[in-house]
């Protein structure tokens, strides 16, 4: 279990080490890639390269920095290539080092970071420590890279903040992982949280929001929920969508679908379209109604079009992000819940992923 060398730990009055330990799980992504963006092969991951660069960082010798335990997954992956089995790989590393570390930093590509953060928030039952996902828009080796600041701040947040959940840190803002969405493919502020305040803003001081002070979801030691071979998907409505297309999407063995609808949860009131949805929900497919809008949520009571979806058996996704809705479906089905139980739990706030009906953000 390699560690990045640092200066000796400080000691308290009883002679015990007071230096925190943070496990860094490197999965791949832009942060550790090498090569020219417009070269023959473009940016590519290089095993061992990022660890060597971190080892050379003088900032890690600062007394407030934690001792770093570095874990590099193999193979390293562009985040566009990640699948649920990779969420499990990351979760296993966290569970394996939970007893020895005070927090975790997961280095990850930005493209599917919101999916991984959402999935981990559900899978890590009883999490009592910070798990901070971060990465960069330019590789660490690039002259103007945002990697260094993101990494150093994520390490400090993982070591010194009283978080009991999964977050995403980028460019001065720490977001709840299951509330975050990627909003820019080129700007350094790559993520936002449209329906919930940041967990913390980082400037001269680290300002924690009251929403950051959550207690662990389940008491006791950390438990990793393994993921079953669950068949779920996502579909974004578009004008002119054909009922035959929808019928094909909803065929067995599909168990759950995130349907991204218009506005506050609206869709065409075409009888054939609604009949296809109703037949699927009747045979046990859980269809979660999420809005295509960047902010706001679903209200299937306000409009006749939304009420028609409710009558067809769709479940309101409230203000869930599509990423959180999909990973929550995977998690709930993996736990062995029936479709009826999944429908009830989708609308239940488990990890701060949705705003309770009272309107209070937890």
* Domains in the chain with CATH codes: 3-7+19-224 (3.40.50.1170), 232-346 (3.40.50.40)
Give the model's pLDDT for residue 219: 66
Give the model's pLDDT for residue 17: 52
- What would the 3-class secondary structure string for the chain be? CCEECCCCCCECCCCCECCCEEEEEECCCHHHEECCCCCCCCCEECCCHHHHHHHCCHHHHCCCCCEEEEEECCCCCCHHHCCHHHHHHHHHHHHHHCCCCCEEEEECCCCCHHHHHHHHHHHEECCCCCEEEECCCCCCCCCCCCHHHHHHHHHHHHHHCCCCCEEEEECCEEEEHHHCEECCCCCCCCEECCCCCCCEEECCCEEECHHHCCCCCCCCCCEECCCCCCCEEEEECCCCCCHHHHHHHCCCCCCEEEEEEECCCECCCCHHHHHHHHHHHHCCCEEEEEECCCCCCCCCCCCHHHHHHHHCCCEECCCCCHHHHHHHHHHHHHCCCCHHHHHHHHCCCCCCCCCCCCCCCC
291 is in an annotated binding site: no
Give the model's pLDDT for residue 44: 77
Give the model's pLDDT for residue 34: 85
Of the candidates 300, 320, 314, 331, the one whose C-alpha atom is nearest the C-alpha of residue 250 is: 314
* Residue ranges in the chain modelled with pLDDT below 70: 1-17, 36-41, 217-219, 358-362
Give the model's pLDDT for residue 283: 97
Tell me the per-residue pLDDT of 68-106, one tens digit each, with 9 for 90 and over.
999 999 999 999 999 999 999 999 999 999 999 999 999
111 is in an annotated binding site: yes
Active-site residue, selected from the candidate residues 27, 110, 315, 355? 110
Verify whether residue 110 is a known catalytic residue.
Answer: yes
**pTM for this prediction:** 0.91
110 is in an annotated binding site: yes
Active-site residue, selected from the candidate residues 27, 30, 153, 315? 30
Tell me the per-residue pLDDT of 313-335, one tens digit each, with 9 for 90 and over.
999 999 999 999 999 999 999 99
């Amino acid at each position: 279990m390699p560690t990045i060398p640092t200066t000796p730990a400080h000691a308290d009055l009883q002679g015990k080490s007071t230096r925190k330990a943070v496990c860094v799980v490197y999965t791949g992504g832009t942060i550790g890639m090498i090569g020219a963006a417009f070269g023959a092969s473009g940016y590519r991951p290089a095993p061992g390269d990022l660890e060597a660069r971190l080892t050379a960082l003088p900032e890690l010798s600062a007394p407030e920095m934690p001792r770093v335990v570095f874990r590099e997954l193999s193979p390293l992956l562009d985040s566009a290539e990640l699948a649920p089995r990779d969420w499990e790989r990351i979760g296993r590393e966290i569970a394996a080092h939970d007893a020895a570390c005070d927090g975790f930093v997961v280095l990850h590509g930005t493209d599917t970071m919101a999916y991984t953060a959402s999935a981990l928030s559900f899978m890590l039952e009883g999490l009592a420590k910070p798990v901070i996902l971060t990465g960069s828009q330019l590789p660490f080796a690039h002259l103007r890279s945002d990697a260094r600041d993101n990494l150093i701040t994520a390490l400090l947040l993982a070591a010194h903040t009283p978080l009991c959940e999964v977050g995403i840190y980028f460019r001065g803002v720490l977001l709840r992982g299951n509330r975050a969405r990627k909003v820019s493919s080129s700007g350094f502020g790559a993520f936002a949280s449209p329906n919930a305040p940041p967990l913390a803003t980082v400037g001269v001081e680290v300002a924690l929001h009251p929403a950051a002070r959550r207690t662990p979801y389940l008491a006791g030691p950390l438990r990793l929920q393994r993921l079953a071979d669950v068949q779920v998907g996502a579909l974004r409505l578009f004008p002119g969508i054909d009922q035959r297309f929808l019928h094909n999407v909803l065929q067995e063995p599909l168990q759950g679908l995130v349907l991204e609808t218009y506005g506050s949860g609206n869709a065409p009131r075409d009888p054939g379209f609604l009949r296809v949805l109703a037949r699927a929900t009747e045979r046990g497919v859980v269809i979660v109604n999420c809005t295509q809008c960047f902010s706001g949520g679903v209200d299937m009571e306000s409009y006749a079009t939304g009420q028609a979806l409710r009558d067809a058996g769709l479940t309101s996704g409230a203000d869930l992000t599509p990423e959180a809705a999909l990973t929550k479906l995977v998690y709930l089905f993996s736990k062995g819940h029936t479709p009826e139980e999944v429908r009830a739990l989708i609308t239940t706030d488990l990890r701060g992923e949705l705003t309770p009906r009272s309107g209070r953000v937890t």
